[in-house]
Amino acid sequence: MAVLVPNPLYLALRDALRTAEPMLAEIEKGIETQFRTFHEGGVWKGPAAKRFDEQLTHHRTRVSGCADAILSDLRRALAGTPPEVSEDQARSIRIRYGLP
């Protein structure tokens, strides 16, 4: 029976998810704060403000959608990756992905 060791790809994906989650949350919070401030009124009025609002809304939607997609892809990849593999498989994975 082969000895199982931690899968370096699993560990890398887990670390990437742990790093990405708070970063993406911070980005979303930042744009959401600006969006709310703008919509509380009194900041800016007129046709240029309306165009800015349309662009801000578009970018807010994109940020949220991209963040969700990134986290979803990482979670899906992590769920489909075994946490342990044989030593030979671990070595191959390290070489293939340039992992330590």
Percent of the chain with pLDDT over 70: 100
Residue 45 clears pLDDT 90, i.e. is over it: no
42 found inside a domain: no
Location of structure tokens 């070489």: 95
Q: Has residue 26 been placed in a domain?
A: yes
Domain of residue 82 covers: 4-37+47-97
Section 71-84 average pLDDT: 98
Strands 4-6 and 84-86, sheet pairing: antiparallel
Mean pLDDT throughout 26-42? 91
Whole-number Å distance between alpha carbons of 11 and 94: 11
Mean pLDDT of the chain: 95
Quick check: 42 pLDDT over 80? no
pLDDT attached to residue 1: 72
pLDDT of residue 82: 98
